[in-house]
Amino acid sequence: MEDLLTPEQILNAQLNAIFQSSSDGILVCDSKGNVLKMNEASEKLNGMNAADVIGKNVAHFVATGVFDRSVTLEVLETRRQVSIMQFIKKTNKHLLVTGTPAFDEEGNIFLVVVNERDMTQLNAMKERLEQSRMVAERFKDELVQLSMQELEGQEIVAESEPMRRVLNMALRLSRFDASNILILGESGTGKGVVAKFIHKSGRRSKKPFVQINCAALPETLLEAELFGYEKGAFTGARLEGKLGLFELAHEGTLFLDEIGDLPFSVQAKLLKYLDDHEVMRLGSVKAKKVDCTVIAATNRDLDSFTKEGKFRQDLFFRLNSFTLHIPPLRERREDILPLMNFFLARHNKQYGQKKRISSKGFEALQSWPYPGNVRELDNILKKAVLISEKELLDDFIGSALANPIPKGAHQDPRSPRRQHLQEEVLGLEAELLKGALKFCKSTREMARYLGVSQPTVVRKLKKHRISSTDSFSNQKH
């Protein structure tokens, strides 16, 4: 048969076969916008027969609403290739339509070739993807809510956005079993509570949580407590030796509170553990592998300590892998009301009371600057529940908060009337000690209240010549 056809006929037959076999719709229009040719795929996409389309102008189909717009008309207007999204009412399809101009030797458009591709399925996939994304967002929101419920289960109160961000990050770190976490914040903000939350939320929750205050022990005892010792390691050592806290925390969590007060020599041994996860007891020549999460906390400015040579820079970098900064209570006042309710309910239950606070008492608590942060609020409410003879605690709270605000608590540091820094620090220290004396029954309780060691409280009282005998009698210092 091909032998009977001319080369031109063979070429036309081949081009027509290609034209008709394309899975994309193809329209060919002249320079006026009249349809010259339409393939079978275009017939299906547009829901029309080629016989009803060929010879008609595309403007007719726009005017009658068959197309919402015509790419051919836009190509003729702009004299360049144009791509549009076109909706076909009859077939309810969305088409990606590209019109390409063909120019003659004089630079005039003589043909417009239109390519149509069905995007309906792709759009459906896009919608399903968007629905999946919305579902994922909903699950994410529900996960956050579950996380917040988990906080409540662990007796953590956080309504303010800054504190929720801290706890959400803590939750993520616990889920990934992260170590070398550094918690920063003023004394009394709840660094220890966050450390316990990280432990309880992770896979090590069934293992030990071991805690030590690095400022509470002298250097020699601190090293022995952390790393343990063999029998006869030093004078006064137990005959059987002693496990260190690192070993006790094996597969669990070791919380190093007040890490800024860690002696330099002990810092070196801590760094060695963080590097190779091995500890060596005092008096031993054999290292032992220990696997525990290390969380450190401090109210010190470790960055400044490092620059001043008071803290090892390499240890600071190792501990600073993940940092959580807990804002002071005065910067998250949305937490004061829920914290007040939480502590009041806990102390009422603990001491069998039914004390309550009205809006007047809450307003007094809400306006207090809280130099002692959450710990101070807890102590105020604990003493109110224990000491006040009235069911309504407003008057007791008002009296407890009647003390003058410590110097510098809210003073603008740019004020020209401000004293020298050393005077400010000493003045604030004295005020805090005097305030603690009114609430506490012993120097040990003062130490817990202020977040320092008991010997520090005794030394500070002597330095400021503050007598404690009038506040609590028969107390061994």
Q: What is the pLDDT of residues 211-231, one digit of tens each?
A: 999 988 888 788 888 988 887
In this structure, the answer to whether residues 245 and 372 fall within a common structural domain is no
Q: For the chain, how many structural domains are there in total?
A: 4
What pLDDT score does 158 carry? 83
Domain annotation covers residue 359: yes
In this structure, the answer to whether residues 367 and 433 fall within a common structural domain is no
What pLDDT score does 153 carry? 52
Residue at a domain's end among 402, 423, 451: 402
| DSSP track, 212-257 | EETTSS-HHHHHHHHH-B-TTSSTT--TT-B--HHHHTTTSEEEEE
What number of other Cβ atoms are within 10 A of residue 55's Cβ? 9
Domain annotation covers residue 129: no
Please state the pTM of the whole predicted model. 0.56
The angle at the Cα of 308, spanning 303 to 313, to the nearest 5 degrees, equals: 55
Its domain, for residue 224, covers 162-327
For the segment 314-326, what is each residue's pLDDT rounded down to a tens digit? 999 998 889 999 9
Average pLDDT across the chain, whole number: 83
In this structure, the answer to whether residues 470 and 368 fall within a common structural domain is no
In this structure, the answer to whether residues 309 and 455 fall within a common structural domain is no
Residue keyed to tokens 């036309």: 12
Domain annotation covers residue 289: yes
Domain annotation covers residue 134: no
Residue at a domain's end among 294, 327, 360: 327
* Mean pLDDT of the region 374-395: 92
In this structure, the answer to whether residues 311 and 224 fall within a common structural domain is yes
Residue at a domain's end among 297, 327, 357: 327
In this structure, the answer to whether residues 190 and 296 fall within a common structural domain is yes
What pLDDT score does 157 carry? 80
